[in-house]
Homo-oligomer: A and B are copies of this chain.
């Protein structure tokens, strides 16, 4: 069989850190990112944390001539922050919002308000169908005591399921984004084992950039140095992952990252480093699928470990649901008691009001406020429990199916 010529695809991925009012020198950096992208002429640009649609419009205007096709994914209260610019027509798009994404009362973290999602765009180049996914998972604020780990594991699981179910007709699958997980973390292993995606950094024939491919590095003037203290080189949490299905082969010829300050400027593009991959795609004769005995045990391990994390999260969510339910009940009881006392004193049953009117009213307002708040929290954590239970059950079924296949082999 004669092989087709190779198709080269240059992909750019960056978490832009463009939060209105909060990110330093945002507008300057957005312009800088736009200018660089226009100059460099990639085929495909995957961006995260473009929270403001105004910034997206600036980029769209700057990039219109080189990247005539683009899509901004709207989601959550603030927006998903995800967008894609492409040299090739975008044929189709779809958005999936993760079912769990932190807590609305964790205002200092704010992930909940963004409606973290995965966006899919479908493009076709020389007859090859590419399913391109861009995503941003919940941030990790404290690695030692990571309260968001179960939510992030659920997100990694849903991301894997979404890619699996939507990419069945694609020739090439590509995922770019800030996964907020180190390469050896359970979520990454789960994602890779479920989908068969390969890590561009690990597969690259040539690499140039920050040591160990790190994308959050101490050399970047915008990173918080104390957070990176346990990791002197930095950490790698931004990825380009890919795989070819059916009759195609993809290899990563080159991977690059930016290295802090942008060339000729006094600032970096973002607090993250950009990841840039040059991929080669070519048609090939059909290769047999991965043999049982290499991929499936790794998958079983990852699902098992992830399930443990989800269970830990489930216990914590149940405790929170119980605590908020109890608080709501106590507040309701207090309100009822007060209502009874109030009615009693109105009817003249009691000798006198045991509390002065002012304290009585203050206490009633407090109880009503506590009741509303606790009831809202109880609903929120009931939903959290439900989603964690659902994921745990899905993982249990997946494990059973896997064990059946492994046992039969």
Interface residues of A (CB under 8 A from B): 73-77, 79, 91-97, 99, 113, 115, 120, 161-162, 165-166, 168-169, 357-358, 361-362, 365, 368-369, 372-373, 379, 382-383, 386-387, 389-390, 393-394, 397, 401
Contact = CB atoms under 8 A, between A and B. Distances in A.
Contact of A369 (B113, B120, B165, B368): B368
A362 to B, nearest CB: 6
A93 B398 CA distance: 10
Contacts of A401: 91
A134 to B, nearest CB: 15
Contacts of A74: 386-387, 389-390, 393
Nearest to A365: B365
Contact of A365 (B162, B361, B393): B361
A96 B389 CA distance: 16
Contacts of A386: 74-77, 79, 115
A365 to B, nearest CB: 3
A93 B394 contact: yes
B77 A383 contact: yes
Contacts of A95: 390
A93 B397 contact: yes
Contacts of A161: 94
Contacts of A120: 165
A396 to B, nearest CB: 12
Given A358-B357, A361-B358, A365-B369, A113 B387 contact: no
Given A168-B169, A358-B358, A372-B372, A76 B383 contact: yes
Nearest to A169: B168
A390 B372 CA distance: 31
B383 A115 contact: yes
B362 A165 contact: no
A161 B122 CA distance: 13
B361 A75 contact: no
Contacts of A394: 93
Contacts of A91: 401
Contacts of A115: 383, 386
6 contacts: A79-B386, A97-B97, A120-B165, A361-B361, A365-B365, A372-B372
A405 to B, nearest CB: 11
Nearest to A93: B394
A405 B165 CA distance: 27
Q: Which 6 A-B pairs have the closest CB atoms?
A: A365-B365, A168-B169, A74-B390, A165-B166, A77-B383, A74-B386
